């Protein structure tokens, strides 16, 4: 029954029923998604996918963002979806560690461009795709994640199928079949974290979800009870689960509103420390610093205790590098995690003065930072909610700045301004082409 009722909810929720604040949040999510996708689009991970898909198809249907060329819809969904997760800089539903946009937005862009679908329909497909995947994640988290599944792909595939299903105007029966096909293609092991295969997961989930809807559209049959069946998704993929969470308060509570944007290009556990080190800049120049003590929950150090990172990527797992570079450069974006930055003598000198202290009493998302200067002066900064948390979200201005930083190597200033402006009124555009022509 859960799957059937979910399908009814999806099909019967019109654009007009979507609250303004949800639409606003969706437009921010899409802007953020375009930014992280373009930011990583020249990464080696993408190069390999480009090569392989070149040999499989010469169809030029929809755009690879930031690459100025087109591919067939399934390849484009794979590649754009993968690119958007390479930096681990995409949006996050904090309650389930699910990154909602990366499997769904590539499908919206692929079908939107191919069929030139009105932007309001695209927003509806994006919002409902995200809503479904996040509600299913609520139902299986944390059990599903603890078993070892990468929830962004293993559950994200449902979101991709729903978005595609809406854009292909599937009826109830077809939408149920699409969910069945999506659920049976669920995949993604957390063992792959730290390799190219991690970002491949949401890309492939986008592709699998899109394929599911394409098959259902043509009459392909699958199960209509994929969520609740004895050998269906929840029972097989999640030892404990509560499927009531899929339907509860539909249309009243929107999970997409709980979607947070990361201001910094590293794990969220380090964000309070970054905020703190940036705040401490006003009290001392780097050469005046004797020590920066960072009192954090022990969990933070479990993940980020790397004292001498050898690469920029390792720097993301180092509270020493991250604290130092944030103090020096007032930021922790991809620029601050380039290989040369972890080898820079100035950063190294300062990171040796970072002194993290584990304290069970600190909440995981907080930090107490104490700056001690050579002249004896001390300053404290307490971060209660880091930038990018739900309590202290990134403003539109901050999102625009993040977007600009991510895109500046690929797009010129005018293009960047145009994309920001157009995504801000995406629902009023006559076509998604107005955005894509700037990319």
The number of angstroms, rounded, from the C-alpha of 319 to the middle of its chain's C-alpha atoms is: 22
93 counts as binding a second copy under rule CB under 8 A: no
165 counts as binding a second copy under rule CB under 8 A: no
Number of residues that bind a second copy (CB under 8 A): 54
Q: Which of 12, 57, 240, 311 is close enough to bind a second copy by CB under 8 A?
A: 57
Between 172-184 and 197-217, two packed helices, what is the crossing angle to 10 degrees?
150
Classified as helix, coil or strand, 439 is coil
- In sequence order, the β-bridge partners of residue 291 are 372
**Residues 108, 121: Cα–Cα separation, whole Å:** 9
Q: Token pair for residue 211?
A: 């394929």
From 119-127, 143-151, 259-267, 329-337, span contacting a second copy (CB under 8 A): 143-151
185 counts as binding a second copy under rule CB under 8 A: yes
Q: Which of 22, 73, 107, 435 is close enough to bind a second copy by CB under 8 A?
A: 73
Q: How far is the CB of 315 from a second copy (least distance, A)?
A: 19
Q: Which of 204, 245, 366, 422 is close enough to bind a second copy by CB under 8 A?
A: 204
Going by DSSP bridges, is the β-strand pair 367-373/289-296 parallel, antiparallel, or unpaired? antiparallel
Q: Token pair for residue 157?
A: 């595939």
Q: How far is the CB of 231 from a second copy (least distance, A)?
A: 4
Task: Please say which residue, 102 or 370, places its beta carbon nearer to a second copy.
Answer: 102
Task: Please say which residue, 200 or 261, places its beta carbon nearer to a second copy.
Answer: 200
* Helix (H), strand (E) at residue 293: strand 289-296
197 counts as binding a second copy under rule CB under 8 A: yes
Task: Please say which residue, 218 or 397, places its beta carbon nearer to a second copy.
Answer: 218
What Å distances lie between residue 35 and 30, 40, 182, 327, 395, CA to CA? 9, 9, 27, 25, 15
Q: Which of 35, 106, 129, 188 is close enough to bind a second copy by CB under 8 A?
A: 188
Q: How far is the CB of 57 from a second copy (least distance, A)?
A: 4
**Residues 31, 400: Cα–Cα separation, whole Å:** 8
Q: How far is the CB of 312 from a second copy (least distance, A)?
A: 16
Nearest CA-CA partner of 439 in 171, 63, 157: 63
DSSP 213: H
**Residues 296, 39: Cα–Cα separation, whole Å:** 31
354 — phi, psi (to 5°)? -80, 125
Task: Please say which residue, 82 or 92, places its beta carbon nearer to a second copy.
Answer: 82
The number of angstroms, rounded, from the C-alpha of 383 to the middle of its chain's C-alpha atoms is: 24
| Polymer length in residues for the chain | 439
Task: Please say which residue, 182 or 367, places its beta carbon nearer to a second copy.
Answer: 182
Task: Please say which residue, 159 or 388, places its beta carbon nearer to a second copy.
Answer: 159
Interaction with a second copy in 215-274: which residues (CB under 8 A)?
Answer: 215, 218-223, 225-226, 229-233, 235-236
What Å distances lie between residue 397 and 256, 287, 401, 421, 436, CA to CA? 20, 32, 6, 12, 22
Q: How far is the CB of 361 from a second copy (least distance, A)?
A: 30
Positions in the binding site for a second copy (CB under 8 A): 44-45, 48-49, 51-52, 55-59, 72-75, 147-149, 180-181, 183-192, 195-197, 200-201, 204, 211, 214-215, 218-223, 225-226, 229-233, 235-236
């Amino acid at each position: 029954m859960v799957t059937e009722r979910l399908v009814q909810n999806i099909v019967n929720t019109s654009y007009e029923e979507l609250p303004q604040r949800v639409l606003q949040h969706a437009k921010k999510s899409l802007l953020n998604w375009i930014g992280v996708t373009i930011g990583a689009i020249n990464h080696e991970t993408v190069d390999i996918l480009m090569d392989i898909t070149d040999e499989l198809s010469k169809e030029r249907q929809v755009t690879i963002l930031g690459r100025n060329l087109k591919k067939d819809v399934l390849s484009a969904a794979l590649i754009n979806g993968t690119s958007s997760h390479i930096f681990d800089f995409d949006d996050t539903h904090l309650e389930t560690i699910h990154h909602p946009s990366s499997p769904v937005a590539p499908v919206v862009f692929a079908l939107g461009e191919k069929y030139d679908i009105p932007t309001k329909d695209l927003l509806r497909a994006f919002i409902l795709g995200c809503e479904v995947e996040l509600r299913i994640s609520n139902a299986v988290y944390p059990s599903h994640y603890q078993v070892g599944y990468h929830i962004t792909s293993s559950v994200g595939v449902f979101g991709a199928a729903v978005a595609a299903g809406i854009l292909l105007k599937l009826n109830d029966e077809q939408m149920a079949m699409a969910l069945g096909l999506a659920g049976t293609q669920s995949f993604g092991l957390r063992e792959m974290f730290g390799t190219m295969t991690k970002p491949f997961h949401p890309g492939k989930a986008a592709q699998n979800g899109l394929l599911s809807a394409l098959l259902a559209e043509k009459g392909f049959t699958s199960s209509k009870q994929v969520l609740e069946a004895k050998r269906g998704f929840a029972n097989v993929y999640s030892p404990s689960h509560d499927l009531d969470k899929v339907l509860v308060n539909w249309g009243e509570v929107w999970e997409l509103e709980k979607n947070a944007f990361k201001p910094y290009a590293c794990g969220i556990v380090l964000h309070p420390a970054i905020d703190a080190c940036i705040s401490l800049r006003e009290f001392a120049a780097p050469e005046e610093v004797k020590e920066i003590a960072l009192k954090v929950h022990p969990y933070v150090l479990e993940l980020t205790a790397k004292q001498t990172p050898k690469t920029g990527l390792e720097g993301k797992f180092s509270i020493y590098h991250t604290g130092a570079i944030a103090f020096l450069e007032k930021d922790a974006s991809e620029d601050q995690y380039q290989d040369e930055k972890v080898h820079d003598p100035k950063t190294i000198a300062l990171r040796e003065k970072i002194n993290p202290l584990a304290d069970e009493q600190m909440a995981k998302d907080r930090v107490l930072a104490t700056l001690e200067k050579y002249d004896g002066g001390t300053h404290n900064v307490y971060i209660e909610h880091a930038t990018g948390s739900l309590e202290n979200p990134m403003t539109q201005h901050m999102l625009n700045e993040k977007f600009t930083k991510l895109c500046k190597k690929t797009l010129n200033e005018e293009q960047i301004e145009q994309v920001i402006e157009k995504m801000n009124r995406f629902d009023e555009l006559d076509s998604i082409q107005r955005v894509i022509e700037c990319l």
